[in-house]
Structure 1
Amino acid sequence: MISKRNIKGSETMSAILLVVNGDVKKEHLVMEMSRAGFVIGVDGGTNIIHALGYTPDLIVGDLDSIREDVLEACRKKGVRILRYPAEKDETDLQLAIEEAMKLNPRMITCVGIFGDRPDHTLANLQLMQVPAKAGIHVRCPFDGGILYVIDSKLDLKGSPGDTVSLLPITEMVSGITLTGFKYSLTDGEMVPGIPLGISNVMESERAHIEINSGILLVFHLQKVTSE
Structure 2
Amino acid sequence: MKGPPVNLRNQGFIFLVDVIFKVYKMRTWPHLVADGGATVLQATAPELLPELVLGDLDSARPEVLQSYRDRGVEVRDLSHDQDTTDLEKCLNTAQKDFACKRIFVAGTFAGVQGRFDHTLGALNALCKAEVQGINAALLSDDSCCILLPKGRHCLTAPRQSCCGLVPLGGPVRVTTSGLCWDMKDAVLEWGGLVSTSNGLDEAGDGLVWVDTDGTVLWTCNNVP
Check the 8 A contact 2:176/2:182 in 1, yes or no: yes
Check the 8 A contact 2:13/2:106 in 1, yes or no: yes
Check the 8 A contact 1:113/1:124 in 2, yes or no: no
Match of 1:106, as an amino acid? K
Identify which of 5, 9, 12 aligns with 1:16.
12
- Tell me what 1:109 maps to: 104
Match of 1:58, as an amino acid? L
- Tell me what 1:150 maps to: 148
Deviation at 1:12, TM superposition (A): 4.5
Query: Taking structure 1 as reference, are residues 25 and 78 closer, same or farther at Cα in structure 2, changes over 3 Å only?
Result: closer
- Tell me what 1:66 maps to: 60
What are structure 2's unaligned runs of at least 5 residues?
1-6
Match of 1:16, as an amino acid? G
Identify which of 59, 74, 80 aligns with 2:74.
80
TM-score, normalized by length of structure 1?
Answer: 0.82
Deviation at 1:140, TM superposition (A): 1.2
**Counterparts in 2 of 1:49-64, with a 5 A limit?**
49-51=41-43, 52-53=45-46, 54-64=48-58
Deviation at 1:120, TM superposition (A): 1.5
TM-score, normalized by length of structure 2?
Answer: 0.83
Identify which of 189, 192, 198 aligns with 1:191.
189
State the aligned residue count: 208
Q: Distance in 1 between matches of 2:192 and 2:212?
A: 17
Q: Distance in 2 between matches of 1:194 and 1:35?
A: 40
Query: Taking structure 1 as reference, are residues 222 and 71 closer, same or farther at Cα in structure 2, changes over 3 Å only?
Result: closer
Q: Distance in 2 between matches of 1:128 and 1:189?
A: 22
Deviation at 1:195, TM superposition (A): 4.6
CA displacement 1:189-208 (0-9 Å, x = unmatched): 21123352111121131111
